[in-house]
Amino acid sequence: MGSKTLENLKNPMEPIAYLTVEVKHRDLDARLLIASHLLKAGVSVVVGQQWAIFGNVDTLPPGIVLFKTVNEIQAGNMPNCRQWGHLIAATDEEVLQCIDDKCFMLAFSPVAAANCDLFLAQSPAHRDAIDRQFPEMSDKVVVAGNSRIDLLAPTGRASFAAEAEALRKTYGPYVLFNTNFGSINSIWNDINRVINIAARAGAFNPDDPASLAEFKALLQWEHKNFEELVPLIDWAVGNLTGHRIVIRPHPGERAAFWEERFANPRVTVIPRSSPHPWIMGSDLVVHTGCTTGLEAELMDKPVINLMPSDHPTFDRIVNWANPTFKTWQDAAAAATEFIARGAGPVSENRDKYAKVLEQYLPGFRSGDAAKAIAAGMLAKLVERGAKPGMGNSMQYRGEFRMTTRQPVLKDKFVMSREEFTESVRLAHSLTGNPTMPRIDTLDESLFMLSPA
């Protein structure tokens, strides 16, 4: 480590936070809730596409960087951030469905454990799993909740209620099918590339035969889900004639497959869309063990989970918090009864599912996770000498380098200043922050928010 880097580590923190975002429609709104609380406390925030942040950690003023996950790919950026004087905070938004240690720890990189100054767990069970796997982190873990859930709480739903109503007016009554085949129907259109990316992320160890076999079993599980969901969609197109059929592919999926397979005027495919307004506007949500099924339950929406076989490595909350069916025929029968009479398995056991949610996501209706995450980050900044409310001059430590991204990465996050401003305004309305910040554009789809 050079002398310049050592000097950076000794410098006090600036009152600034960096909130990295990979997928706009999945990550941004929750990040902006955190940003709103930080701004209220006098902390400047840089938020937007993660590649520009990671490419400039040596030039950006030392602050606290919030990582969305702790897999090998994300963790690979942490040592460089620390080397240039930044604090490291992390959540793990990929574990929203987890209920056991194996699931919580599946993609928790030891590199992340070694570099985190603060980890924000979504539940006591999550914290306990980390304590068992990485006891050296025990004084760095705070239970804060998951900010994605804040948007689904009764107070957060206002952020997309108008859009949901507009969708109903545009499309009429519809059934929403969320697909989740990011491996076998990948945007990369190359299963070998998918396998290589999964190995890099730490999803499995390619040098361990047992680990590789487990990953291949996961691919087979995905195939089984696919083989049940496609005929269910065929059935819905032919039988639910009073409803439009809307297919929302996972962000990692190739949407063209669904557009070609279901080229029907009653079918609409909506790639790269925010799930929440589409869930809220629907009459019924159908999925195969997907997080959107959990989100639907958190929003009190009718939902069907089509699960022909158990996940090969771990269980998920959604299997206990949704009406779950093993065959497309059983799912079709339940959908028929619900659409026709509002009755049957889809409408039953509401209290049971609510108890499951409270067990694994305590306080899920409070909408306080973003506030708790911001408070944890603020405490770390102050501990390292930052003075919130003093302003940030954004003095770069070198030349800021503009990013050039591959189209497949750019497609994950592109946002105009005008669209970003409206998103900030909406987040402020949800958090009760009355003052809009100053907004500066740092790079394509990367913005700095400064307390007014």
In this predicted structure, what is the pLDDT of residue 390?
A: 60
**42 CB contacts (<8 Å, ≥6 apart)?**
15, 388, 389, 390, 451
Buried b (16+ CB within 10 A) or exposed e, 412-421: bbebeeeebe
**144 CB contacts (<8 Å, ≥6 apart)?**
91, 120, 121, 122, 369, 372, 373, 376
In this predicted structure, what is the pLDDT of residue 194?
A: 77
Ordered mean pLDDT values, 10 residues apiece, the chain (452 residues): 45 88 89 97 95 95 96 95 97 92 93 98 96 96 95 90 96 97 83 79 78 84 95 98 96 92 96 92 96 94 96 90 97 98 95 93 92 98 89 77 86 92 95 94 95 88
CA pseudo-torsion sign 258, 264, 267, 268: positive
- What is each CA distance from 410 to 48, 241, 251, 414, in whole angstroms? 12, 37, 13, 6
What is d(CA 316, CA 48) in angstroms, rounded to the nearest whole number?
Answer: 30
What is d(CA 182, CA 250) in angstroms, rounded to the nearest whole number?
Answer: 6
Among 53, 51, 124, CA closest to 86: 53
Residue 252: φ, ψ to 5°: -90, 5
Question: Domains plus CATH for the chain?
Answer: 3-150+367-450 (3.40.50), 158-360 (3.40.50.2000)
What amino acid occupies position 321? Answer: A
In this predicted structure, what is the pLDDT of residue 340?
A: 95
SS3 letters across the chain: CCHHHHHHHHCCCCCEEEEEECCHHHHHHHHHHHHHHHHHCCCEEEEEEHHHHHCCCCCCCCCEEEECCCCHHHHCCHHHHHHCCCEEEECCHHHCCCCCHHHHHCCCCHHHHHHCCEEEECCHHHHHHHHHHCHHHHHHEEECCCHHHHCCCCCCCHHHHHHHHHHHHHHCCEEEEECCCCCCCECCCCHHHHHHHHHHHCCCCCCCHHHHHHHHHHHHHHHHHHHHHHHHHHHHHHHCCCCEEEEECCCCECHHHHHHHCCCCCEEECCCCCHHHHHHHCCEEEECCCHHHHHHHHCCCCEEEECCCCCCCCCCCHHHHCCEECCHHHHHHHHHHHHHHCCCHHHCCHHHHHHHHHHHCCCCCCCCHHHHHHHHHHHHHHHCCCCCCCCCCCCCCCCCCCCCCCHHHHCCCCCCHHHHHHHHHHHHHHHCCCCCCEEEEEECCEEEEECC
Residue with tokens 């960096």: 18
**Tokens read off for 162:** 């108008």
Contact 382, 117 (CB under 8 A): no
List the end-to-end C-alpha distance of the chain, in Å, as a whole number: 38
- What is each CA distance from 189 to 84, 184, 216, in whole angstroms? 37, 8, 17
**Tokens read off for 51:** 């590649």
What is d(CA 101, CA 314) in angstroms, rounded to the nearest whole number?
Answer: 9
pTM of the predicted protein model: 0.84
Contact 31, 21 (CB under 8 A): yes
**17 CB contacts (<8 Å, ≥6 apart)?**
35, 38, 43, 44, 45, 46, 63, 64, 65, 66, 377, 381
In this predicted structure, what is the pLDDT of residue 256?
A: 94
Angle between helices 328-341 and 209-239 in degrees, nearest 10: 40
